[in-house]
């Protein structure tokens, strides 16, 4: 495997890890607010708070690794994306700051303040919407190079069907992933009322997720035919993704094996995400950046790969330890001292 392929593979693994962990986190915050609005917060509060308390601060570790690695491996991305994403990136940072601050207010201070909980929950939906801009822009057609100046074509971005399809997919996906995990987590806690409610959310957001995926697939055909044709070349990955979705949906519908159902959901998004990534290569940004002409020097690339693999080997055991001590400890999950 070449240096650039190894580098982008490591980065893609980090980004996939962020998508799963962040989706659970963002969705949990939204469901806490949504259930509060419906007067059903007493059914899910304990489950959601027991999950959020130990993990909310570590969610962005995967994203930090990805951003640093992307700029380190492919320096050209800093020039193009850094200029084009100045406004969306600033919005993301503001939303992330608000979310972290209002989590502390809502969970450690004024617990009954609906404004704090609303800010925390809704920013969890706006953040992935802003991050989805990166994938949208990478398809090309939204950046214009005028001499040495990079210009983001905002009007084209805001009126593109593909752009809104990606945003819609980002929103429904985090809710489906989060509801699927929280259903399993509530089942581990033997909280039957929470399981019943969260299971209904998982089923409710399952079909919109598949519909949104289909809409993105169609809109790519109209926006970037070259990428669409390469997606057809690896269509078996997307078929496996759909098969995993059917398995997860069947298990959730049958009210059993919620843990296996969530693993199927993870595999569903893994196959789709890596299918999208493979078909996107060699481009990082159509038509300006490819992984071959923008890769860093071999010495720097080797050092980065060693560092990131070491970081991954350190991060995964740390997360496993966190899960064993808190998330999957029988007494902690059930709220027993």
Confidence of residue 12 (pLDDT cuts 50, 70, 90): confident
User: pLDDT per residue over 214-269, tens digit each?
Assistant: 999 888 888 888 888 889 899 899 999 999 999 999 999 988 888 899 999 999 99
Q: Are 202 and 252 in contact (CB under 8 A)?
A: yes
Least confident of 26-30, 89-93, 229-233: 89-93
For the cut 70, the answer to whether the pLDDT of residue 276 exceeds it is yes
Confidence of residue 104 (pLDDT cuts 50, 70, 90): low
Using alpha carbons only, give the angle 225, 231, 233 rounded to the nearest 5 degrees.
110
What pLDDT does 117 receive? Answer: 75
Most confident of 10-24, 76-90, 197-211: 197-211
Confidence of residue 58 (pLDDT cuts 50, 70, 90): low
For the cut 80, the answer to whether the pLDDT of residue 47 exceeds it is no
Between 269 and 89, name the one with better pLDDT: 269
Q: State the average pLDDT for the chain.
A: 80
Q: How far is the C-alpha of 59 from the C-alpha of 38, rounded, in Å?
A: 27
Q: How far is the C-alpha of 316 from the C-alpha of 286, rounded, in Å?
A: 33
Per-residue DSSP letter, 327: I
What pLDDT does 316 receive? Answer: 75
Q: Are 165 and 224 in contact (CB under 8 A)?
A: no
**What is the enclosing helix (H) or strand (E) of 8?**
helix 3-38
Average pLDDT score over residue span 115-123: 77
What pLDDT does 236 receive? Answer: 93
Q: How far is CA 27 from CA 24, 80, 121, 241, in A?
A: 5, 31, 8, 21
Using alpha carbons only, give the angle 141, 290, 132 rounded to the nearest 5 degrees.
50
What pLDDT does 322 receive? Answer: 67
What pLDDT does 315 receive? Answer: 73
- In the chain, what are the domain boundaries? 3-333
């Amino acid at each position: 495997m070449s240096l650039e392929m190894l580098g982008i593979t490591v980065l893609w693994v980090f980004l996939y890890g962020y998508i799963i962990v962040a989706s659970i986190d963002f969705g949990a915050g939204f469901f806490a607010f949504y259930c509060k609005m419906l007067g059903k917060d007493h059914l899910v509060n304990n489950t959601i708070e027991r999950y959020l308390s130990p993990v909310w601060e570590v969610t962005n570790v995967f994203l930090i690794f990805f951003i640093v690695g992307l700029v380190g491996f492919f320096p050209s991305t800093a020039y193009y994306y850094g200029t084009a994403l100045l406004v969306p990136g600033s919005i993301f940072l503001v939303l992330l700051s608000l979310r972290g601050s209002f989590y502390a207010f809502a969970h450690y201070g004024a617990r009954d303040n609906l404004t704090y909980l609303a800010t925390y929950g809704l920013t969890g939906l706006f953040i992935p919407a802003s991050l989805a801009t990166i994938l949208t822009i990478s398809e090309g057609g939204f950046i214009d190079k005028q001499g040495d100046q990079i210009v983001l074509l905002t009007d084209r971005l805001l009126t593109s069907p593909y752009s809104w399809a990606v945003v819609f997919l980002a929103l429904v996906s985090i809710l489906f992933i989060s509801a699927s995990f929280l259903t399993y987590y509530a089942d581990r806690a033997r909280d039957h009322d929470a399981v019943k409610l969260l299971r209904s959310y998982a089923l409710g957001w399952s079909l919109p997720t598949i519909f949104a995926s289909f809409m993105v697939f169609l809109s790519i055909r109209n926006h970037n035919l070259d990428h669409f044709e390469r997606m057809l070349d690896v269509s078996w990955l997307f078929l496996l993704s759909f098969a995993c979705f059917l398995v997860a949906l069947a298990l959730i519908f049958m009210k059993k094996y919620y843990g296996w159902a969530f693993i199927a959901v993870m595999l569903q998004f893994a196959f789709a995400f890596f299918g999208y990534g493979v078909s996107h290569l060699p481009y990082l940004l159509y038509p300006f950046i490819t992984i071959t002409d923008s890769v860093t020097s071999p010495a720097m690339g080797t050092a980065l790969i060693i560092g990131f693999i070491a970081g991954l080997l350190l991060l995964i055991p740390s997360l496993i330890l966190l899960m064993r001590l808190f998330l999957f400890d029988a007494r902690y999950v059930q709220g027993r001292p």
